[in-house]
Structure 1
Amino acid sequence: MTYSTPVVIAACCTLMAATSASAGTALEEALASGAERLSSDEIAELLVGKRVVARAGDKVFNFHYAPTNVLQGELQGGGWSGTGHYAITDGNEVCVSMAQDAGRYRCLTVVRHGDSLQKFNARGDKTFDLLETTTASGL
């Protein structure tokens, strides 16, 4: 049996759409497996005035969220450092803008899953695992 090109293309596109629709984002999967979104107050308690150690893939970063909304960051072992600003929204997100963002804020959802804390971007991709938070006046 032979199929015309439009039929094959339509079948392929239908399969791709069904596959992508069934695959949730990392945030959706985390929430479905029991993770809970942190509220604005919980995010503030977690971050403001704290030094945060966070992992993205195989890289580990230190961040300091000053009470003045200044954000400092550095890659452990060197290779990157930066300063920017952050804001905690009424919509239960923390938004950050580093110098290279040229004034654009990237807003992140923070979730707790058991003992672990994670950040997810607007597309639902996991950006960081938060490994440790300690009260500090800088990096």
Structure 2
Amino acid sequence: MEKRLKNLRKTMDREVFTQLKFTEEHKNRIREKITQETHNDAEIMIAIMQLLVQEKTGYQLVSLLQSRGISNFEENEGSLYIILHRLELKGVLKSSWQEDDAKFYQLNKQGRKLLKKLEKQPLSNHVSLKEILEG
């Protein structure tokens, strides 16, 4: 997929963006907004759960979250493992150790039901990460 995105960017640079001119100030403001973008707890939880429909390691999960623009775990991967452990204790995740000493996580039936429920709700009505993990 990475290669396809690079090819798309090259094509867009060549075909679409030739007419556009941005000042350095404009570019800097855009970069600043991108780096300031934050995700709320509900968005992060839904992203984690969506990715765990299929079995993943914590490392794979961090990489995929980063590709979605969620960089909350970039400097602190340990906090993701705390969330995964709590989800497992709540009974929405199952985990297993593979032969190469890697732990894999995946939503179980209850987790998939919770994900469907969260996806149907408007974002403004979502429960917080704290409520999911503690309540």
Q: Under TM normalisation by the shorter chain, which class is it?
A: under 0.3
The structure in which a higher percent of residues are strand is 1
The structure in which a higher percent of residues are helix is 2
Q: TM-score, normalised by structure 2?
A: 0.26
- Work out which of the two has the higher radius of gyration on C-alpha atoms and give 1 or 2: 1
Q: TM-score, normalised by structure 1?
A: 0.26
